[in-house]
Structure 1
């Protein structure tokens, strides 16, 4: 047990009425670093305090304890760097291990998955064609919840600042949160449509490499069905890969949505019997992507960026703060025609659709 870590959490406990606005959450379960009778919500307090948290997390990982800590960085501010949560499933046993799934997906086509995401975003952020930074984290292993292998990638674009996507507090009048979706959802839908439209001939945009990537996705998990009725899809379909759940900020009391900080683990069954999955979130790499969204995908230049210190990696994966005062300018007139820029009545949030 690290007494400095225990002390940090004890000193940063959010006060009564401040829990749902706190920057960090450990969930609703007590472990050794959560004070007794605490809700699990913590405030950063100051930039120096944030750095202390980052260092404590790194120290715990170096001590060999990445699987005894889970800290969520919450969307406590309305602006933050664009991030994506990618979920790729393997089989129901360990026949598809970490390396096979990673090589089949991430390394395929000279990082085709990453290149395609950047290409789609450069179409709507053309001002970043001179250099678009991207960083990725991975968290892979057997998923206790799904009972199959799961490769997760958290991808962030520090140069693109988007506005927060907020769910309704309860099922309310259609469209009440706002007249238009946030830039975060526009970016997700743009990337989703980019890949979906290039896997077949429906739109005349077929790319054989993306079609092959999709086939690899299907083969990895036997294309297991997800959902029922009209909402049914196949696991590893693009809408399942680019998971939207992590994007939505849940403002309802006690709902602590967010993104795990690097070097911490995932927990299942938080309330009754918390179990760490043994899938800590670890840095994968940083790159700079140069090229225009109007150029061919293969013409994009992807160059590796220098490594960071461990605490810098934690900061890069922290979505709970943003130094920018304004979002990055989005060219809506260049958005793929399949991306809906208005809600047209019904609110699309997870609460109103009965998913939360």
Structure 2
């Protein structure tokens, strides 16, 4: 298999993932933390889903949304990490053209789903704190299901043009993708055509979806904080705020790496290429790894249930 970056083609059959440009010799070492984070992400998110399913007291909207988040994290990390690890361990960088576009689509779709789920989790916290008496009547099981379907459909529809636009460009230059996975801009930059449509659409969708989600989260937490500060005692304020702290940590874990990845990809022209790639990988690795840890450590019901499973029962 040739790794030449001078290969010319019009209708590519495959691309070659380069990994972390400039750090190819260190791929084996880089794979160790990547593999560890992926293992934690898979084990942690499966555990969250299992605990919520097995514990009847957790059959509430907050934990249903948490299950949606865990499942989304599983798919988001699994979309990229197995191929990345095969590249690091076996130098298996070749990826079929259609498989590359499929991976691109799922990366963006699951990222959009995660953003949407974080938004509806903020709405759940808003109703629970600002209008607790109506929480069970507003967020019924059918409503939760409809919200979940809406989040999925929104991501599926908005991200669908990405692979179709990428497919229509002619590729007649290098088939080397300087990345560990088929990141959208890294792929379309290989086209020998004006890719403004792809670039502007990607930028518009990012601002639209993330802007709407973050705006809704900010408005929700503005009302939540106002309600908390109206409580009569510090203990009551701390206890109420504690119900939101896990969600706030998860929001930061998702949006901060995402923001860094987006800004360095679009505007960080002086940032080394290997930094672009490593930051993009943190975006699909760190949130899936941290989310179950955050909720497991800070949510009493989940922590107690987990300890009950792990602690041997002596008779």
TM-score by length of 1: 0.26
Higher helix share: 2
TM-score, normalised with respect to structure 2: 0.28
